[in-house]
Amino acid sequence: MFKRWLRQTTVATMVALAPMAAMAQSVTQGGDVVVTFKDDVTTLDPAIGYDWNNWSMIKSLFSRLMDYEPGTSKLVPSLAESFTVSPDGLTYTFKLRKGVKFSNGREMVASDVKYSIERAVDPKTQGPGAGFFGAIKGHEDLTAGKATGLEGITTPDAGTVVFTLSRPDATFLHVMAINFASVVPKEAVEAAGGDFGKKPVGSGTFTLKEWTIGQRLVFEKNPNYYVKDMPHVDKFTVEVGQEPLVALLRLQKGEVDIAGDGIPPAKFLEIKNSADGAKMIVDGEQLHTGYVTLNTKVKPFDNVKVRQAMNMAINKDRITRILNGRATPANQPLPPAMPGYDKGFKGYAYDVAKAKALLAEAGFPNGFETVLYSTNTDPQPRIAQAIQQDLAAVGVKAEVRALAQANVIAAGGTEGEAPMIWSGGMAWIADFPDASNFYGPILGCAGAVPGGWNWSWYCNKDLDARAVAADSMSDPAKGAERTAAWGKVFTDIMADAPWIPVINERRVVAKSMRMGGGDNIYIDPTRVINYDAIYVTK
C-alpha cells in the first residue's frame, strides 16, 4: 500500500516539474465537463467574490495584469505584455497587451485597469480585498471616503498603466494577480445596476453562458481569448447544491467529472482502495496549515512555558491517522510548499513527560481547565476531541465547544473570549503563494485587535518590524534573501509558541477517469481547480 502511494507521489512530482510545453502537445481540445459543489455560488463579481468555490471561476472569467503559469506559483505577465520596476521599488509600469477584448466586444484599455482597481478599493463596493492594495498611493484617502479614485494609478496612454506606491511592497506583483485586481468594463458594471456578480463581463478564458439560480452555471469557452489553444474544454457546467457524498456516487457512475468538494472521509478509503482509485483520486499539497491558537491574553496561556507544554502534548501522528493519512504533522506555521519553509526546523516533539514537567515548572503540576473551540462540520469536532484527549493526558481538562463557523470567528475576535481554537475548516489556502500572507492578519499585531483573525492575540513588535523589513525588499534579485528572512520569522515565532501547528492537510479531489491534466491542475497552488488547463482525454 505504502509503496503504491509513494509511486503515485513521485509521478505527481514529476508531472509538476515537467515543462508545460511538453505537456501541451498531448492535450486534446473540446469536450464538456461537469463539476459539482455543495455550496451555491454567491457571486462572480471579482471585487467581491472570496469563497472557496467561486475563486477559480472568477479566475477563469476575468484576466489580470499578472497571472501564474498553470499548476505552478510562477508569476507571468498576462494582460500586461511587459512591465518595469523602478530601482526604489516604488513605481511599476505595465505595458498592456494589444487587442484584448471583453466579452461584450469592446477592446480593453488602460483606464479599465485603473477603474477596476479603484472599484475594488472603493468602500461602496463592499469588497473584502481593499486591504491588498494598501501600498498604492492614495489608498487611505479612498477608503476613508476623502477621494473618489487612487492618485497612485495613472494612464499616460491607452496602452500603459503606472502604479506609484507609498511604500515598497515585495508582494505587489502577486497583488496584481489576485482576483480583486481583475479587469472589468465600466459600462457593463453600470448596466448591471449592482447585479454585476450575476452578469459578469470579462476577458478571461471563459464566459458565463447561463445561470439558473440554485441549480447550475454554464461557462463557455471564450473564442477570442488571447492565448492560443486556451482553454481546452469547450464548456463546463457547475452544478451547485450537491451533497459531497452524492456527488461522489454520481462521479462513480460517470455523471460528474470533478467533485469539487473533494472526497468525504467516509468514502476516502473505499475509493482509494478500489481498482480505479488511483486514476480517480488527485491528492496534492496545498498551502494549508491547521493549528490551535493559544490565547496569550487568557490565563494560563499568557505563560510561555504553558504554551510550549501544549505544543509537546499533541500526538499529531494520531490526528493524521484519523484523517486517513490525508495530512502530515506540522511543526511551524508555514506549510512545506510555501517558499520560506524551513525543512531543518524540528519544532516541539511529542513528549508527554516533558510537557508535564514544563507545566509543573509553570506552576500547574495538576494541569488546569480550559475551553477548546472548533467548527461543527466533520471532521473538525473529531479532531478537537483527539486534541482534547491528548491534553487530558498531561492533566489539562479542555471542554470542547463545537459551534457554527461564524460563532467561532466571533469568539476568536473577542478579547479574552476563546482560550484555544482549532482552526480546522477556517484556515483556508493562502491568497497568494508568499510567506507574508501567513503573517499579518493571523500572527501580526495588526490582526490582534477586536474583530481580527489573530486569535492568539500575539503581538511581537520586534517580529513585526522584521516582517516590514522583509516586505520592503522588493528587488527581485533579493528574492532569496527575503524568503529566508520570512522563514526565520516563522521559526523564531515558535519560541513564543502562540500556536500549536498541528497538521498540513493535503487536498484530495475526485475526478472521472476521462479527465486529463496533471494533479497540479486540479490542486493548483493559486486556484482551487484550474479550469483553463483541464482537458478531456477522449
Site string for another protein, 233-272 (x = CB under 8 A): ------x-xxx-xx--xx--x-x--------xxxx-xx--
Closest CA to 535 of 231, 175, 206: 231
Is residue 360 at the binding interface for another protein, with CB under 8 A as the rule?
no
User: Looking up cell 514544563, which residue turns up?
Assistant: 358
Report the nearest approach of another protein to the CB of residue 505 (Å).
Answer: 14
Report the nearest approach of another protein to the CB of residue 395 (Å).
Answer: 16
Tell me which of 195, 210, 276, 481 binds another protein, using CB under 8 A.
195
| DSSP code at position 40 | P
Report the nearest approach of another protein to the CB of residue 371 (Å).
Answer: 10
Determine the size of the site formed for another protein (CB under 8 A): 86
Report the nearest approach of another protein to the CB of residue 67 (Å).
Answer: 19
Rounded to the nearest 5°, which phi and psi values hold at 365?
-60, -25
Report the nearest approach of another protein to the CB of residue 15 (Å).
Answer: 25
Residue 126: CB atoms within 10 Å: 9
Tell me which of 6, 18, 191, 213 binds another protein, using CB under 8 A.
213
Is residue 384 at the binding interface for another protein, with CB under 8 A as the rule?
yes
Tell me which of 64, 174, 401, 507 binds another protein, using CB under 8 A.
401
Pairing of strands 235-239, 420-422: unpaired
Report the nearest approach of another protein to the CB of residue 290 (Å).
Answer: 14
First-residue to last-residue Cα distance in the chain: 30
Closest CB to another protein among residues 123, 156: 123
Options 154-162, 305-313, 409-417, 520-528: segment touching another protein (CB under 8 A): 409-417
| Cα 416 to Cα 325: distance, rounded to the nearest angstrom | 35
Tell me which of 14, 349, 404, 469 binds another protein, using CB under 8 A.
404
Distant-in-sequence, close-in-space partners of 515: CB < 8 Å, separation ≥ 6: 33, 257, 258, 534, 535, 536, 537
Closest CB to another protein among residues 129, 487: 129
Closest CA to 419 of 439, 404, 397, 438: 397
Is residue 382 at the binding interface for another protein, with CB under 8 A as the rule?
yes
Is residue 6 at the binding interface for another protein, with CB under 8 A as the rule?
no
Closest CB to another protein among residues 244, 516: 244
| Cα 355 to Cα 395: distance, rounded to the nearest angstrom | 10
Tell me which of 124, 146, 343, 538 binds another protein, using CB under 8 A.
124
Report the nearest approach of another protein to the CB of residue 266 (Å).
Answer: 4
DSSP-assigned states of every residue in 219-231: EEE-TT-SSTT-S
Report the nearest approach of another protein to the CB of residue 444 (Å).
Answer: 11
Is residue 39 at the binding interface for another protein, with CB under 8 A as the rule?
yes
Residue numbers 288-307 binding another protein by CB under 8 A: none
Is residue 194 at the binding interface for another protein, with CB under 8 A as the rule?
yes
Q: Write out the H or E segment, with its range, that includes residue 312.
A: helix 304-313
Report the nearest approach of another protein to the CB of residue 201 (Å).
Answer: 16
Residue numbers 132-171 binding another protein by CB under 8 A: 132, 134, 143
Q: Write out the H or E segment, with its range, that includes residue 309.
A: helix 304-313
Which alpha helices (H) appear in 362-506, and where do they start and end? 380-393, 405-412, 440-443, 461-472, 479-496
Retrieve residue 508's grid coordinates: 484530495
| Cα 238 to Cα 219: distance, rounded to the nearest angstrom | 8
Which alpha helices (H) appear in 63-169, and where do they start and end? 110-121, 139-143
| DSSP code at position 227 | S
Is residue 431 at the binding interface for another protein, with CB under 8 A as the rule?
yes
Q: Write out the H or E segment, with its range, that includes residue 328.
A: strand 327-329
Report the nearest approach of another protein to the CB of residue 506 (Å).
Answer: 14
Q: Residues 534, 516: contact at Cβ < 8 Å? A: yes
Is residue 395 at the binding interface for another protein, with CB under 8 A as the rule?
no
Tell me which of 149, 325, 339, 395 binds another protein, using CB under 8 A.
325
| Cα 98 to Cα 494: distance, rounded to the nearest angstrom | 49
Closest CA to 485 of 333, 342, 337, 332: 342
Tell me which of 322, 360, 468, 484 binds another protein, using CB under 8 A.
322
Tell me which of 381, 433, 517, 525 binds another protein, using CB under 8 A.
381
Residue numbers 436-475 binding another protein by CB under 8 A: 437, 440-442, 446, 449, 451-453
| Cα 257 to Cα 219: distance, rounded to the nearest angstrom | 15
Closest CB to another protein among residues 209, 346: 209
Closest CB to another protein among residues 17, 213: 213
Query: Is there a cis peptide before residue 379, judged by omega within 30 degrees of 0?
Result: yes
Is residue 48 at the binding interface for another protein, with CB under 8 A as the rule?
yes
Residue numbers 55-114 binding another protein by CB under 8 A: none
Tell me which of 26, 84, 389, 537 binds another protein, using CB under 8 A.
389
Options 57-65, 294-302, 339-347, 379-387: segment touching another protein (CB under 8 A): 379-387
User: Looking up cell 490565563, which residue turns up?
Assistant: 299
Closest CA to 264 of 326, 222, 193: 326
Retrieve residue 163's grid coordinates: 502604479
